[in-house]
Structure 1
Amino acid sequence: MSQSLGREDVMTKVREHLSAELEVDQAEISEATRFKDDLDADSLDLYELVMELEDSYGIKVSEEEASRIETVGDAVDFVAGRLRD
């Protein structure tokens, strides 16, 4: 995967995935959107998002790291940080 992907590219990918999986309008998904409280995402939804990010970007996310991701912005920051490493 190209290391030149920026934060906006990651945000777009996360927004598209969540919109499709949770049947939510992409316009309703911002960086401050909380997975559980705002999107009613359960642990399986979050697991599927982590798997999608791992596959799309060639990164690994531990259970501990995943448990700290509470908002869309957290997920985007995590992936963008891994792509810079």
Structure 2
Amino acid sequence: MQRTVVFYSKPGCCLCDALEATLRRVQPDLGFALEKRDILIHPEWFADFQYTIPVLEVNGRTLTGISHRSTAAQLAAVLERAFVA
């Protein structure tokens, strides 16, 4: 089964850019697909995430314990737990 991380962001968001860079660093080791969603495209995404981006989702669950300041090791640990949950 393909592991997928859904990444809610918007263009020009420096917090999103920082988290995306860390996601891209851990992606090869963890082997997941990254589905990036621009919240400006869908009103529902905008309403849900306008004040909380960047947001990650795995298996339909929003992840907590991560931020744009998370290290690669911290992010990898959170993602590994999410993939097995």
**Could you tell me the TM-score, scaled by structure 2's length?**
0.31
**Could you tell me the TM-score, scaled by structure 1's length?**
0.31
